[in-house]
């Protein structure tokens, strides 16, 4: 039987414990489905007040921003990941991906606490097959994609990435802390 020096044995044990402590929680595009339920109660859309502010893109090719501010009217809750956002036209729906550089974070909202996320889009040319004639945006909280809130869209058509039939040129930020 081979014996290991105490330092080598301790290092091997620490590595084993580190590997077994890892879990399968992923960050990225699926975060809207991975709510943080064990460490706190996930926020419910019915407990949040919604306010929308926009810096609409003035002309085709310009970039605009739609900021959605959420105010917690219930008990303390947790948001983890990204909001799930869809842009809806009369005959199609397209999902909006998280910003490429955005990192998912866990955010705890106390009663009265606020957070916001931003939908950034490129305005399309009205009536063009290379544009999506968006009529409303729909968003859901992480882990609760069945409970969505619809918002009217009055910011013009949204350009498509690859011409007609392509995904919308839009992205969504993660939840940002607001206030103190």
Q: Of the candidates 77, 90, 95, which has an alpha carbon nearest to the alpha carbon of residue 140?
A: 95
User: Does residue 7 carry a pLDDT above 70?
Assistant: no
**Residue 20 or residue 137, greater confidence:** 137
Per DSSP, 160 falls in state B
User: Averaged over 17-41, what is the pLDDT?
Assistant: 39
User: Does residue 71 carry a pLDDT above 50?
Assistant: yes
CA quadruple 142, 175, 28, 57: dihedral positive or negative?
Answer: positive
User: Does residue 49 carry a pLDDT above 80?
Assistant: yes
Residue 175's Cβ-count burial label (10 Å; 0-12, 13-18, 19+) is buried
| pLDDT on residue 31 | 40
User: Does residue 169 carry a pLDDT above 80?
Assistant: yes
User: Does residue 85 carry a pLDDT above 80?
Assistant: yes
Q: What is the pTM of this model?
A: 0.75
Q: Of the candidates 65, 64, 170, 61, which has an alpha carbon nearest to the alpha carbon of residue 125?
A: 61
The string of DSSP letters for 89-130 reads -SS-EEEEEEPTT----EEEE-TT-EEEEEEEEEBPPTT-TT
């Amino acid at each position: 039987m081979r014996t290991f020096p105490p330092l080598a044995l301790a290092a091997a044990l620490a590595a084993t414990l580190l590997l077994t402590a890892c879990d399968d929680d992923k960050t990225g595009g699926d975060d809207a489905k991975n709510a943080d339920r064990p460490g706190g109660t996930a926020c419910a859309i019915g407990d949040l007040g919604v306010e929308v502010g926009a810096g609409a893109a003035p002309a085709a090719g310009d970039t605009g921003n739609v900021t959605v501010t959420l105010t917690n009217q219930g008990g303390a809750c947790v948001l983890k990941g990204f909001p799930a956002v869809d842009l809806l036209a009369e005959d199609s729906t397209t999902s909006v991906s998280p910003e490429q550089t955005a990192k998912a974070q866990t955010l705890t909202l106390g009663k009265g606490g606020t957070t916001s996320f931003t939908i950034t889009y490129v305005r399309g040319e009205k009536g063009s097959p290379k544009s999506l004639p968006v009529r409303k945006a729909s968003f859901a909280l992480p882990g609760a994609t069945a409970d969505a809130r619809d918002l009217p869209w009055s910011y013009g058509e949204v350009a498509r990435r690859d011409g007609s039939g392509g995904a919308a040129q839009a992205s969504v930020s993660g939840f940002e802390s607001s206030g103190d």
